[in-house]
Amino acid sequence: MPVVELHLIKGYGEEDKRRLGHALTDAVRFVLPAPLDGITVMIHEMAPDAYYRGRDTKTPAPALPDPAEVVRAYLAAMEARDLDAARAMQGDGFTMYFPGTGPMADLSELIDWARPRYSFVTKTYDGFDAMPGAGDTSVVYCRGTLSGEWLDGTAFSGIRFIDRFELIGGRITRQDVWNDMGEMRGRT
Predicted local distance difference test score (pLDDT) of residue 188: 53
The pair phi, psi for residue 78, each rounded to 5°, is: -65, -45
Q: Which domains does the chain have, with CATH numbers?
A: 3-57 (3.30.429.10), 67-184 (3.10.450.50)
Q: Which of 43, 100, 101, 69 shows the shortest CA–CA distance to 165?
A: 69
Percentage of the chain exceeding pLDDT 90: 88
Predicted local distance difference test score (pLDDT) of residue 187: 64
Q: Which residues of the chain have pLDDT under 70?
A: 186-188
Number of H helices, E strands in the chain: 5, 9
**pTM of the entire structure?**
0.90
Question: Does residue 22 contact residue 28 with C-beta atoms inside 8 Å?
Answer: no
The SS3 assignment for 182 reads helix
Predicted local distance difference test score (pLDDT) of residue 139: 98
Beta-bridge mates of residue 74: none
Predicted local distance difference test score (pLDDT) of residue 186: 60
Predicted local distance difference test score (pLDDT) of residue 48: 85
Beta-bridge mates of residue 95: 174
